[in-house]
Structure 1
Amino acid sequence: MVVESIVFRSALLSDVPAIVALLADDALGNHREVLGEPLDSRYVDAFRAIEADANQRLVVVVDGSEVIGTLQLSFIPGIARTGMWRGQIEAVRIATHRRDSGLGQRVMEWAIEEFRAHHCGLVQLTTDKSRGDAHRFYERLGFVASHEGYKLAL
Structure 2
Amino acid sequence: MSEKTGSCMCGAVRFTATDVPATFGACHCDACRRWTGSAMLAVTVPQDKLTWEGEAQIRTLQSSDWAERAWCQRCGSALYYHVTADGPMSENLQVPIGLFDDANGFTFDSEIFIDCKPDSFAYAGEREVMTRAQVFAKYGAPE
**TM superposition score normalised by structure 1:** 0.22
Greater share of strand: 2
Structure with larger Rg: 1
Q: Relative contact order (C-alpha < 8 Å, sep 6+): which is higher? A: 2
**TM superposition score normalised by structure 2:** 0.23
